[in-house]
Amino acid sequence: MGAFEGMQIAASGLTAQRFRMDVIASNLANASTTHTPQGGPFRRETVVFQARQGPVPGVRVVGLQQDMSPFQRIYDPGNPDADKQGYVLMPNVNPVLEMTDMISASRSYEANVTMIQAIKGMANKAIEI
């Protein structure tokens, strides 16, 4: 594998982790959304990755998957989305889990940047020789 292939692999990782961070940010932004256009509360989403096949391996995003864990029930009879007993279904977004995932995605992004910098440094040394 050459330097350009290594950079393409790392670039695919950068793209995938950036998309993952965008989805995590969306989850956090909708942590209190009790009514969506589809009806019901917001449902947490996760990114599905797949190994990229072909002459240059890497990773690609194949889609989003909804977290089917149960919604939280909060007693708030004044909320317009409350049921007859006064309970509101809240999104299944756990901010602590989202922040943990954000740290993981950030570290993975940094690892890919480091890989690109290392390949660039090796290419520069090869040119100097």
pLDDT digits 0-9 by tens, 113-129 = 999 999 999 988 988 88
Euclidean distance between CA atoms 109 and 22, whole angstroms: 13
* % pLDDT > 90, the chain: 82
Q: Work out the mean pLDDT of the chain and round it to a whole number.
A: 94
**Alpha helices in the chain, H assignment, sequence order:** 3-29, 95-128
**pLDDT value, residue 129:** 86
Q: What is the pTM of this model?
A: 0.88
Q: In 3D, which of 97, 7, 23 has the Cα closest to residue 61? A: 23
Domain, as residue range, for 101: 3-128
Domain total of the chain: 1
pLDDT, tens digit (0-9, with 9 covering 90-100), for 36-47: 998 899 999 999
Query: How far is the C-alpha of 55 from the C-alpha of 57, rounded, in Å?
Result: 6
- Please state, in angstroms and rounded to a whole number, the distance separating the CA atoms of residues 12 and 44: 24
Please say if the pLDDT value at position 1 is more than 70: no
Per residue in 87-118, pLDDT tens? 999 999 999 999 999 999 999 999 999 999 99
